[in-house]
Structure 1
Amino acid sequence: MISITSLYASLCGILILALAIRVVYLRRKNKVGIGNGGVDDLRRAVRVHANAIEYIPIVLILMAALELNGVNGWLMHVLGSLLVLSRLLHAQGLSGSPGVSFGRFWGTLVTWIVIIISVVANLVQFFAN
């Protein structure tokens, strides 16, 4: 059973849905049927949503593998909490500015750290057994 991963998958699902709703809202507001119509806010909203879609699934797959292999619950909660926090930071940072920002920088960095820790932990699990 992967109940811890399910918790963080659900939280990330809420985030992805919220980001998608924001894209739809901006498309309707700016009368853009597809793409971004050259509207800066919409272009960033599409990119924020896409970025979440690019990173969240691989982390959840890595977390599910760890949980199925019996990794301690505390590590799972650390990874899941950091994933949600980093994705929120990134969404906030990129939504506010297309350039460098606190949220974008730390959101990206922490997401990458979660991926690295998850990969290493999975490899350790594999080679230890």
Structure 2
Amino acid sequence: MDANLSAHAAALWVGLHLALLLVLSVRVVGQRRRHGVVLGDAAIPELAQAVRAFGNATEYVPAGLIAIVVLAIVGAPPMVVHLTGLTLLVGRVAHAVGLSRSGGASILRSAGIILTWLAYILGGVELIFYAIP
């Protein structure tokens, strides 16, 4: 397997996840400026949702990216890296959109966390598979 192709696949997904985190961060800053809030969320629902969408992404994305990068390092096929990266990204975007629209339960939030966990399961199982000589 061409490790270079796996590394390029990992680079794509790391870059896309960084872009997602930047967008979510900019949304928080925009809400803070709009409402004149420097710290916390001042009990403003839109700001609280933006903060949690960013916070939740920062809680889940790093571990997923570690899995993606290590998959590339151990020489997993690019398709495996792409499948894990795509699943994680779609999950994180769905969750962020769902949380941004409503502070309560929603189909997008649920789908997002399920896809995120699926990416964790895929990545974890794949890494264990590649760890066995």
TM range (shorter): over 0.9
- Is residue 49 of structure 2 the alignment partner of residue 57 of structure 1? no
Amino acid corresponding to residue 25 of structure 2 in structure 1: A
- Normalising by structure 2, what TM-score? 0.93
**Match 2:93 to one of 88, 101, 104:** 88
Instruction: Tell me the equivalent position of 1:36.
Output: 41
Instruction: Tell me the equivalent position of 2:107.
Output: 102
What do residues 102-126 of structure 1 show as CA deviations (whole Å, max 9, x unaligned)? Answer: 1100000000010011111111111
Aligned residues: 128
What do residues 33-74 of structure 1 show as CA deviations (whole Å, max 9, x unaligned)? Answer: 011111110001000000111111101101111111111111
Q: Which runs of no fewer than 5 residues in structure 1 stay unpaired?
A: none
The percent of aligned pairs where both chains have the same amino acid is 34
Structure 1: distance between partners of 2:31 and 2:104: 20
Runs (4+) of structure 1 exceeding 2 A deviation are none
Larger RCO (CA under 8 A, 6+ residues apart): 2
RMSD: 0.9
Structure 2: distance between partners of 1:106 and 1:32: 31
